[in-house]
Amino acid sequence: MTKGRLIYVDEDPDDIELFQQFINEKFDLKIIKIENDDDLEAIVDEILGSQSEALITDYLLTEKARVKFDGQILIEAIQERNRHFPCFLLTSHAPDALNATHDARLVQSKSIPFGGNDLNEYKSLFIIQIEKVIKAFRDTRQKLVNEFENLSALDVDKLTAPQKQRLLELDDSLDSYGFTSSPIPTKLKEDTHIALLSKLVEDIDTLIGMKK
């Protein structure tokens, strides 16, 4: 597997340096240092536009920066636009982070990447965990892309009903991965809309008939 693309977000320059030492070129690492008055949506745009495959963010981004969001809010904003994007919430305030997060599996103790040599086993396990979530994210997304491309390359007039349905499902799935536009054939969408409209008309006729 090629080196995973990881992004780390923190407001503390000392912790950023410690994290860089922890990663030690095991990943293609991008750093975003939070500064006073940084805008949440701008940070989200930067992360999703970076082609990174996983995010690790500090939980308390307000300790050394004046911003209106923390790491959990950042993760929620990321996953609103890419539901499957792997994220980790790094903290030395585990109770608060666990209480704030929607998924306890995201929370990791800062003591692991920033600790001493006595934690080397846990550091290695964390690296493996990051590698595995990146691989799963990459493989699943690519499988969807490949299937979508294969189906969308077929003549839309020759697609079977299950193939049409699957193509639309794939379009929705890719949208949940942050793909803003997929080349679904216009005719297929029109056919689907017509089918849905016909079903709606049938339902209305049935309802009217029941009321007579």
pLDDT under 70 in the chain at which residues? 1, 95, 104, 180-212
Q: Which residue has the tokens 């704030």?
A: 100
Query: Closest Cα to residue 182, out of 138, 147, 137?
Result: 147
Which pLDDT belongs to residue 212? 46
CATH topology of domain 5-139: Rossmann fold (3.40.50)
* Cβ 54 vs Cβ 23: under 8 Å: no
Sheet holding 107-109, edge to edge: 28-33, 5-10, 54-58, 87-91, 107-109
Which pLDDT belongs to residue 109? 87
Which pLDDT belongs to residue 208? 47
Total-model pTM: 0.81
pLDDT digit string (tens) for 40-59? 999 999 999 998 999 999 99
Measured CA to CA, the distance from residue 14 to residue 11 in angstroms comes to 9
Beta bridge partners of 56: 8, 88
Q: Where are the domains of the chain?
A: 5-139, 140-211
